[in-house]
Every structure is written in C-alpha cells, then in structure tokens.
Amino acid sequence: MKNILKKELTLSASILSYLFIAFGLMFFIPGYPILCGVFFVTLGIFQSFQNVREANDIIFSALLPVAKKDVVKGKFAFSCFIELCSVILMATVTAIRMTVLKDATVYQNNVMMNANLFALSMALFIFGFFNLIFIGGFFKTAYKFGKPFVSHIIVTFVMIGIGETLHHIPGLGALNAFGFEYFSLQFGLLALGAVAYIALTVLSYRCACRNFERIDL
C-alpha cells in the first residue's frame, strides 16, 4: 500500500492537485462564498483523475502485483490526502480569523458565511459527497468521469447555497457565530461533519471496490 500511495503522489497526480490546495486560503476572503474554495480543491483532484484516464494509469496499476482493491485504495488515499491538507489550511485560516482577526471590521460586518467551525463542517460534508459521487462514480467504469463530476458540481453548489442561506434564517444565526461565540454548538457541528466525511468516504470506497472487481479491464 505504501508503494501504491507513493506512485499516486509522484506519478499519477497532476501538479494542479497540489497547487489547488492553496484555494483553502479563500477562507480569508470576506463578502465571498468561502466554500467555493472547497470546490476548487476538488477540481484539482479531478485533474489528477483526468491524467489517470489519459495515461491509462488504471490498467497500468492493475497490472502491478497488487490486488484490484489496492488500486482503488490508492486513489482514495491520494484524494483524502489532498482534501485533508486543504482542511488543515482552512482550519489554520479559521483559527486566525477567530483569534488574531476577531476584531477586524471587515469580518465583523461580513454578510456571507464566516470562517468558523460550521464552515469547516460544511467543507467536510462537501469533500465526503465528492468522494461518494465523483470517485465512487468514476469506479463504476474506471474510465468515465464527466457525468460524476457534473453531478458533484450540482450537489456542491446546492450545499454552498444552503450554507450561505441557513444563518439568515431566524433562530439559526448561531451557525454564523464569529470568534468563540456558541463554541460548543460549532464544535458539535464540526464533529458531525467529520463523522459524515468518514462515513461517506468509507461507503464510497467499499462500493468502488465492489464495482471495480466486476470490471473487465
């Protein structure tokens, strides 16, 4: 498994997958739907899957002395690595906004989603659904990825719209709390997002392994 992951990180990956991690810095932008940064990270991962298809990497990997499920595991491990790197960057930005920049006027008067633990929770939800919809969808054929990615785009922007709308509903203003206000609620939502990310990813991985075993390469 270590060698498969090394191959994914060095041979199969597109440089854009690494560069697009930096879109996590969009959590610094006030007056902007910051969860769009999550979409751009997934777009970077998509570029790696595009490289995989064009280079026939799936067939190459299947010819290696490894089980077919390890090929799937390698793709998931790489994608999760990129996602979690971006989450760490987003979490760092969030921590800065909740502490050092907590009194900044530009953030205090922000009408869009604030960078807080709920925003991180939504980011994890989006990444989880990306793993379920796109990566799981890719391994139904191990070749076609256009339809799964379009489905991912639709779901992602619906979730971004929900995230930007919820805190405007009377009684739900705590979702957009700034600084450490309503920290217990925010932390609970973050934990929920983490559980959802793990559950969706594991579900997608198991389905992908089952589908990939059936494919005659």
pLDDT in tens, 156-184: 999 999 999 999 999 999 999 888 889 99
DSSP-assigned letters across all residues of 134-154: IIHHHTTTTS--HHHHHHHHH
What ranges do the domains of the chain cover?
A: 2-214
Q: Is the distance from CB of 104 to CB of 137 less than 8 angstroms?
A: no
The pLDDT, as a whole number, for residue 5 is 79
Q: How far apart are the first and last CA of the chain?
A: 21
From CA 14, how far away is CA 199, in angstroms rounded? 27
CA distance 174 to 18: 34
pLDDT of residue 45: 97
Q: What percent of the chain clears pLDDT 90, i.e. is strictly above it?
A: 70
The confidence band for 75, taking pLDDT boundaries of 50, 70 and 90, is very high
Whole-number pLDDT of residue 150: 97
Residue 217 is predicted with a pLDDT of 62
Higher pLDDT, 108 or 119: 119
User: What value does the mean pLDDT of the chain take?
Assistant: 92
pLDDT at 94 over 90: yes
Q: Which two tokens stand for residue 148?
A: 């799964």
